[in-house]
Amino acid sequence: MAVQISPSILNADFARLADVAAQVEGAADWLHVDVMDNHFVPNLTIGVPVVESLAKATTLPLDCHLMIEDPDRWAPAFVEAGAGSVTIHAEAARAPVRTLREIRKAGARAGFALNPATPVQDYEDLLGEIDMLLVMTVEPGFGGQSFLEIMLPKIRRARELIRKNGGEIWLQVDGGVSAATIERCAEAGADVFVAGNAVYGSGDPAQAVRDLRDVAGR
C-alpha cells in the first residue's frame, strides 16, 4: 500500500493559489481542494471556475472534496474542470451510484466520503463503484481542527471491508492529520492522507509533506 499525501489548500492564501500549489509540486501526490457551499457545511469556499483555473496552473492532479448539497448535480462539472478525483458525501448524495458512475465515465477517480457519525458498513454494497473511500476524522467545514481519535476503529473497519471486497480502493483520511496522528491512521489502514495545517502551517510545506510520508511509511 503506497502512501500518498494530498495537501489541503483550505487554510492557504487564496490570492496565490498557483504558488501554493507550486510549493508542494514534486513532493505531494495530489492537491486537495475543499469545496463548501454553506449548506452541507457552515463554510463557503470555492467552486468550478477556480478549480478550472487551478487545474491549468499546477502539474499536481486535483483531489476535489465536495462538501456541498446536491453533489449529484455538480460532480461531473468538477471533472470537466480538470479534477483528477472527485469525492462526494454519502450524507448529501441523492443518487450516489449514478453520480459515482458519472464521475468515472467523465474520466476521474470516484471518491465517497463519510462524516464521523456515518457508519461505513452501510455502504459495503457500493464499494465496487468507488475508487477512494474517505473517512472524515473531523466534522467537515474547517481546517485546523483536532483529529478525532474515535475514528480509528472505523478506519480499521473500512480497511477490512475493502480487503474483503478485493482491495483496490484507496482509503483516505481527512482532518487533523499531522506528524502526531498520521502513524496511527496508517496503522489502522489508511493510505491517502489529507493534511492542511500540518503542511501549509509549517515554514516549509514540501518538507512537511516529505516528513508526513516518512512517518506514515514507517
When CB distances are held under 5 to 8 angstroms depending on the partner's kind, the choice from ligand DX5, Zn ion, none that residue 189 binds is none
Q: What track of x and - describes contact with ligand DX5 for positions 41 through 70 (by CB under 6 A)?
A: ------------------------x-----
Q: Is 89 annotated as a binding residue?
A: no
Quote the least distance from Cβ 147 to ligand DX5, whole Å.
8
The residue annotated as part of the active site, out of 34, 131, 191, 211, is 34
Set of cell numbers at residue 34: 475543499
Quote the least distance from Cβ 181 to ligand DX5, whole Å.
10
**Residue nearer to Zn ion on the CB measure, 65 or 89:** 65
Number of residues binding to ligand DX5, judged by CB under 6 A:
21
**Residue nearer to Zn ion on the CB measure, 65 or 213:** 65
Q: Annotated catalytic, 34?
A: yes
Q: Does 171 bind ligand DX5 (CB under 6 A)?
A: no
Contact in structure between 72 and 94 (CB atoms under 8 Å): yes
Nearest-angstrom CA–CA distance, 116 and 177? 15
Nearest-angstrom CA–CA distance, 108 and 100? 10
| Contacting range for ligand DX5; rule: CB under 6 A; set: 85-93, 119-127, 133-141, 160-168 | 133-141
With b for 16 or more beta-carbon neighbours within 10 A and e for fewer, the 66-104 pattern comes to bbbbbbbebbbebbebbbbbbbbbbebbeebeebbebbb
Q: Is 144 annotated as a binding residue?
A: yes
Could you list the residues known to form a binding site for substrate, using ranges: 8, 65, 141-144, 174-176
